[in-house]
């Protein structure tokens, strides 16, 4: 386009030039095969290689052990003041002095153990039979004697009896153990000492101790005496506080009663980690395997299980089966013959009696006071028995054990007091006995199974300063009652129920025990008697068992004798009598009906 200088131009006069360009690119794909190769499974080729290793070279070097050097020393003779003889140790005097101190202190364990251990005695820990691994057996075999361990920082406040060292040596290595010593031999002290040793050895970190509610304060007192360095907490209070305690356990030893364990079963099941040791005091509480108590106790997670009881068998051998459901589940089964039971529990049960281990324990004098009911009392008894039999006979095959028990209890109560005239042959005899006891400044314990009987006795025996200890006495006042009975010279008698006062108490300052009426089995009676006849007693203990002749009490007494035979069969390892299985020696249904010369109803007899 020609543009003349000086002339304007316009855009619309311009026509742009457009040029086209071919941008096509020639693409040729190249196939490498990688996609197919990645999807194809790998090929693995196996080749067998024959290889014969050579034997390793062994070089043995004999190492001669040098014999240790032994040096002997001679000491010049020491001139003693009394004729050149060393001072003698009077074991009897020391034992008596310590026993007096134990009685004054009133400690359970007795247990204080006032006693006499010769300087040469060495008690070793023997491994249980069920320990297989060599290193575990060596751990116990190589332990020093207990007398060496219980010294220095672990020194005891009193010197134990030799049999108590044996009890500690029995518990120490066992994961499943039943300490079944007779009442009054110091099971509490032996248990605390074994726990103490295991804690210091690092074998335990958390311990749960379960006992009846009345014995909680007693265990606290015993821990303060025998292991004051061990932290202890008591589970108590309302529900929220207890649940917090279960979940935040700081102390080494946790103490709880049976009732709370049942109530807090759900909270206890969440406790982690599991306890290193669970100890049951008065473990006969779990003898019934299907009970709520047994199920709650057995559900607790634990590594070791110890049971303490003075009465491992109360009614039949199945009582021991219930205890071992906690201690060693599956070791015993219901219906075992006594001899087989004894064989199975041999390494897990330790049972000692006072007569066998305590040479210096004061004698126990047992007097069976056979009394005749007063004429008016016997007339009431006769009418009640005859009318009761007539009513039960009218029931026919619908009669049950409960019906018979109601009649038995009614007759036993009449043997105590005539409900019509108020007369009592037993009360007359008891008043005469207490007159002599009070005149000599002594103290007595009277046991009965009925609180109403005890309250009636309290009114009749007012001149002897009676104190009451039974289920209607609040728990917070019971220690005060015991302390007053110990200190008050005017309180000559304490009236106790078998349930509240039969276990755990230390009344070795009482020289007389009266069983105003008989319990259903001798084990409970023995527990009651052991409140006074125990370590620390300073004189003979006289036991009077009141028995109304020609009554139901006389027939029940025969059953009690048979129950003792059962206990001896299991724990004395005697041979089984013909046809005398464990159930037949207990208080069977047939024996209950036999008290009145009846046969079981047809459906039960079959």
Q: What is the pLDDT of residue 495?
A: 93
Question: 293: burial class by Cβ within 10 Å (0-12, 13-18, 19+)?
Answer: middle
pLDDT-derived band at 102 (thresholds 50, 70, 90) equals very low
262, 293 contact by CB (below 8 A):
yes
Cα–Cα distance for residue pair 561/97, rounded to 1 Å? 38
- For residue 153, list its beta bridge partners: none
Q: What is the pLDDT of residue 595?
A: 66
349, 328 contact by CB (below 8 A):
no
pLDDT-derived band at 461 (thresholds 50, 70, 90) equals very high
Q: How far is CA 501 from CA 94, 360, 482, 494, in A?
A: 31, 26, 10, 10
Structure tokens at 449: 């199974």
Is the model more confident about 300 or about 363? 300
Cα–Cα distance for residue pair 510/91, rounded to 1 Å? 25
DSSP class per residue in 466-495 = -EEESTTS-HHHHHHHHHHHHH-TT--EEE
Structure tokens at 335: 């219906």
Q: Which residue has the tokens 């004429």?
A: 375
Q: What is the pLDDT of residue 581?
A: 34
Taking the domain 364-554, which CATH number applies?
A: 3.40.50.300
pLDDT tens for each residue of 235-247: 998 888 998 988 8
Q: DSSP label at 300?
A: S
Report, as an integer, the average pLDDT of 1-26: 64
Cβ neighbours of 605 (radius 10 Å): 11
DSSP H/E element including 74: none
pLDDT tens for each residue of 42-85: 777 888 877 776 666 666 666 665 665 555 544 444 443 444 44
Q: What is the pLDDT of residue 455?
A: 93
39-53, 225-239, 364-378, 432-446: the lowest-pLDDT one: 39-53
Which strands sit side by side in the sheet containing 541-548, from one edge to the other? Answer: 364-371, 541-548, 512-515, 444-448, 493-497, 467-469
Instruction: Say yes or no to pLDDT of 320 above 50.
Output: yes
Cα–Cα distance for residue pair 198/204, rounded to 1 Å? 6
Cα–Cα distance for residue pair 235/224, rounded to 1 Å? 17
Structure tokens at 155: 């020194």
Q: Which of the four CATH numbers 3.40.50.10810, 3.40.50.720, 3.40.50.2300, 3.30.70.920 does domain 170-357 have?
A: 3.40.50.10810
559, 349 contact by CB (below 8 A):
no
Sign, CA torsion 155/157/160/165: negative
Among 221, 163, 165, which Cα is nearest to 193's? 165
Q: Of all residues in the chain, what percent carry a pLDDT higher than 90?
A: 25
For 357, how many CA atoms within 13 A lie in the half-sphere containing its CB?
25
Structure tokens at 411: 């007759």
Q: What is the pLDDT of residue 568?
A: 66
Residue 410 CB partners (closer than 8 Å, separation 6+): 384, 388
- Topology alike, domains 170-357 and 364-554: yes
Cα–Cα distance for residue pair 182/176, rounded to 1 Å? 19
Q: What is the pLDDT of residue 258?
A: 93
* 281-290, 573-582, 590-599 — most confident range: 281-290
Residue 586 CB partners (closer than 8 Å, separation 6+): 315, 316, 563, 566
If you compute the radius of gyration of the chain from its CA atoms, what whole number of angstroms results?
40
Cα–Cα distance for residue pair 531/353, rounded to 1 Å? 15
223, 230 contact by CB (below 8 A):
yes
The torsion of the CA quartet 91, 228, 178, 521, rounded to 10 degrees, works out to: 80
Instruction: Say yes or no to pLDDT of 360 above 60.
Output: no
pLDDT tens for each residue of 182-235: 777 789 999 999 999 999 888 999 999 999 887 888 898 889 989 999 999 999
| Helices 401-416 and 552-571, axial angle in degrees (round to 10) | 110
486, 438 contact by CB (below 8 A):
no
Residue 541 CB partners (closer than 8 Å, separation 6+): 362, 363, 364, 365, 510, 511, 512, 513, 529, 532, 533
Cα–Cα distance for residue pair 23/39, rounded to 1 Å? 38
Q: Which residue has the tokens 């010049």?
A: 76
Instruction: Say yes or no to pLDDT of 103 above 50.
Output: no
338: left (phi over 0), alpha (psi -120 to 50) or beta: alpha
Domain boundaries in the chain? 170-357, 364-554
Question: 270: burial class by Cβ within 10 Å (0-12, 13-18, 19+)?
Answer: exposed
166, 123 contact by CB (below 8 A):
yes
Structure tokens at 539: 């004189």
Cα–Cα distance for residue pair 220/223, rounded to 1 Å? 5
pLDDT tens for each residue of 378-418: 999 999 988 888 887 787 777 777 888 888 889 999 999 99
């Amino acid at each position: 386009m020609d543009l003349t200088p000086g002339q304007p131009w316009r855009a619309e006069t311009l026509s742009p030039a457009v040029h086209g360009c071919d941008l096509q690119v020639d693409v040729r794909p190249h196939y490498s095969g990688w996609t197919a190769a990645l999807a194809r499974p790998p090929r693995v080729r196996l080749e067998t290689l024959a290889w014969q290793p050579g034997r390793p070279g062994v070089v043995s070097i004999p190492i001669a052990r040098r014999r240790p050097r032994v040096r002997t020393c001679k000491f010049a003779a020491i001139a003693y003041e009394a004729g050149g003889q060393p001072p003698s140790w009077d074991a009897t005097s020391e034992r008596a002095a310590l026993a007096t101190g134990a009685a004054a202190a009133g400690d359970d364990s007795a247990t204080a153990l006032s006693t006499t251990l010769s300087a040469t005695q060495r008690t070793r820990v023997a491994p249980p039979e069920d320990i297989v691994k060599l290193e575990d057996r060596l751990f116990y075999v190589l332990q020093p004697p207990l007398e060496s361990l219980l010294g220095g920082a672990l020194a005891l406040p009193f010197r134990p009896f030799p049999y108590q060292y044996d009890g500690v040596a029995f518990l120490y290595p066992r994961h499943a153990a039943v300490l079944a010593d007779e009442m009054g031999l110091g099971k509490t002290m032996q248990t605390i000492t074994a726990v103490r040793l295991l804690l210091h050895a690092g074998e335990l970190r958390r311990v749960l101790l379960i006992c009846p509610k009345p014995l909680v304060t007693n265990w606290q007192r015993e821990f303060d005496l025998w292991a004051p360095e061990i932290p202890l907490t008591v589970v108590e209070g309302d529900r929220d506080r207890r649940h917090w305690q279960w979940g935040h356990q700081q102390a080494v030893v946790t103490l709880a009663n049976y009732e709370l364990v049942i109530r807090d079963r759900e909270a206890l099941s969440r406790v982690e980690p599991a306890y290193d040791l669970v100890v049951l005091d008065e473990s006969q509480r779990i003898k019934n395997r299907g009970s709520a108590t047994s199920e709650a106790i057995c559900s607790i997670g634990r590594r070791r299980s110890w049971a303490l009881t003075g009465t491992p068998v109360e009614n039949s051998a199945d009582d021991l089966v219930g205890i071992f459901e906690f201690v060693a589940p599956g070791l015993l089964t219901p219906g075992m013959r006594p001899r087989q039971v004894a064989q199975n529990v041999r390494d897990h049960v330790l049972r000692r009696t006072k007569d066998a281990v305590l040479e210096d324990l004061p004698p126990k004098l047992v007097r069976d006071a056979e009394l005749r009911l007063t004429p008016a009392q016997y007339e009431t008894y006769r009418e009640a028995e005859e009318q009761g039999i007539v009513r039960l006979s009218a029931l026919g095959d619908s009669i049950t054990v409960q019906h018979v028990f109601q009649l038995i209890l009614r007759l036993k109560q009449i043997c105590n007091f005539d409900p019509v005239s108020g007369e009592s042959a037993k009360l007359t005899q008891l008043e005469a006995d207490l007159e002599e006891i009070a005149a000599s400044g002594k103290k007595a314990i009277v046991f009965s199974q009925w609180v109403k009987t005890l309250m009636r006795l309290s009114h009749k025996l007012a001149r002897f300063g009676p104190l009451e200890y039974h289920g209607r006495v609040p728990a917070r006042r019971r220690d005060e009652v015991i302390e007053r009975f110990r200190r008050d010279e005017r309180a000559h008698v304490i009236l106790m129920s078998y349930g509240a006062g039969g276990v755990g108490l230390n009344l070795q300052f009482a020289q007389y025990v009266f069983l105003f009426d008989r319990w259903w089995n001798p084990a409970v009676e023995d527990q009651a008697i052991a409140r006074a006849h125990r370590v620390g007693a300073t004189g003979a203990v006289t036991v009077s068992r009141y028995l109304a002749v020609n009554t139901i009490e006389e027939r029940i007494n025969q059953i009690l004798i048979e129950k003792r035979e059962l206990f001896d069969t299991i724990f004395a390892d005697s041979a089984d009598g013909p046809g005398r299985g464990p159930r037949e020696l207990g208080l069977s249904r047939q024996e209950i009906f036999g008290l009145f010369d009846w046969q079981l109803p047809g459906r039960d007899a079959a």
